[in-house]
Amino acid sequence: MLQISLGQILSKAVCTIIKLNVPDLLVDNPKTAEELAELTGSHALSLGRLLRYLASLNIFAIDEQERFALTPLSDVLRTDAPSSPRDWILFNAEPWRWELSQSFEKVIATGLSAYEHVYQKTVYEVFNEKPEYAIAFNKAMKSWSSSLPNAVVNAYNFQTANLVVDVGGGMGDLLIAILEANKTVNGILFDQLNVIQEAQNFIANKEIVNRCKLVDGDFLKSVPSGGDLYIISYVLMDWSNEDCITILKNCRASMSNNGSLLIIEPFADVSNEQTFAQYTDMIMLQETSGRVRTLKEWNTLLDSSGFTIKNIIPTGTLSMNIIEVI
């Protein structure tokens, strides 16, 4: 329990290692704390103690010569590592993010999010007023979900779709992966204006640019029509049941009777098993009016929105499932 209570130190420790780019410095060969300190402009004894602590958690390895080396955990923290969680870790160590965690007791007492306690606004209202927060969030989400697009593409057959509409698709990583793997499919990326403006630069040099239309709007009001396959990926967990029903009904109103919707979300496990979904639910509890839902809760939500579940496909990453509904 004492170790668990010191989780904030581990978060800061990993964040510091990333900022010093220590993983990049260990790619070619192991190094001592003194060598790393000289390369990073750090205090050798302090850096060595930090690395020794992280080595005890298998984040680094230490040999008999007290040289530190990468492990599979620290290898993904390299600047050039695919599917790296670097931006997510940096985002979570921001001082303003830590301020939110100080309101956790109030969150439990009231049911209101930490943003509402700290800023008297919802998370999205805060992001609209503080674009630097929104930019950091978008980078963090791209980093957090970097392993998901390929997992979804490998798990589901998109070849029969003509037009895929990604509702709340962020920077477009998932839609890009789908279009790159399915050359006859076209797509619409739909999100708020500030997100779409940022996504334009990201997609501009992609091979799929001519098959991907970018549309801005508010999914609480409407979503683009004409798609035969709609996707809502790790979005609905951010929203209350009432808002989810509104979003889902807007999708239902824009799609044909034989259209399909893929909801990509984790399930809350009613068990003693430790899953990433349970960690995700704590983020939702602290910061949004949403939640990670049980299968029973999903059935109730979908029934209220005019949908039924056709299939559930695990993606094998981040506890995420593809919930195919019709």
Residues 6+ apart with CB under 8 A from 132: none
How far apart CA 52 and CA 59 sit, in angstroms, is 10
Domain range summary for the chain, segments of one domain joined by +: 2-75, 86-142, 145-325
Establish whether domains 2-75 and 145-325 are of one fold.
Answer: no
Compute CA 96 distance to the chain's CA centroid, rounded to the nearest angstrom: 19
The domain 145-325 is placed in CATH, from the list 3.40.50.720, 3.90.1150.10, 3.40.50.150, 3.30.420.40, at 3.40.50.150
- What does the angle CA 299 – CA 318 – CA 12 come to, to the nearest 5 degrees? 130
Residues in the chain where the model's pLDDT stays below 50: none
pLDDT of residue 143: 87
Instruction: Give pLDDT tens digits for 275-316.
Output: 889 999 999 999 999 999 999 999 999 999 999 999 999 999
Residues 6+ apart with CB under 8 A from 228: 161, 162, 163, 255, 256, 258, 259, 260
pLDDT of residue 83: 83
Q: Which of 88, 82, 49, 2 is nearest to 279 (CA)?
A: 88
Instruction: Give bridge partners of residue 264 from the DSSP assignment.
Output: 233, 322
Residues 6+ apart with CB under 8 A from 253: 222
Instruction: Give pLDDT tens digits for 56-91.
Output: 999 999 999 999 999 999 999 999 998 899 999 999
SS3 assignment, position 218: coil
pLDDT of residue 49: 98
Residues 6+ apart with CB under 8 A from 22: 36, 40, 51, 74
Q: Which of 92, 83, 69 is nearest to 23 (CA)?
A: 69
Residues 6+ apart with CB under 8 A from 148: 173, 174, 233, 234, 264, 315, 317, 318, 320
Which residue shows structure tokens 């993606």? 315
Q: Which of 219, 224, 212 is nearest to 254 (CA)?
A: 224
How far apart CA 133 and CA 91 sit, in angstroms, is 9
Helix (H) or strand (E) holding 314: strand 309-314
Residues 6+ apart with CB under 8 A from 53: 13
Phi, psi of 261 (to 5 degrees): -130, 130
DSSP code, position 60: E
The domain defined by 2-75 folds into: Arc Repressor Mutant, subunit A (1.10.10)
Read off the pTM: 0.87
How far apart CA 300 and CA 304 sit, in angstroms, is 6
DSSP code, position 94: S
How far apart CA 266 and CA 321 sit, in angstroms, is 6
pLDDT of residue 270: 77
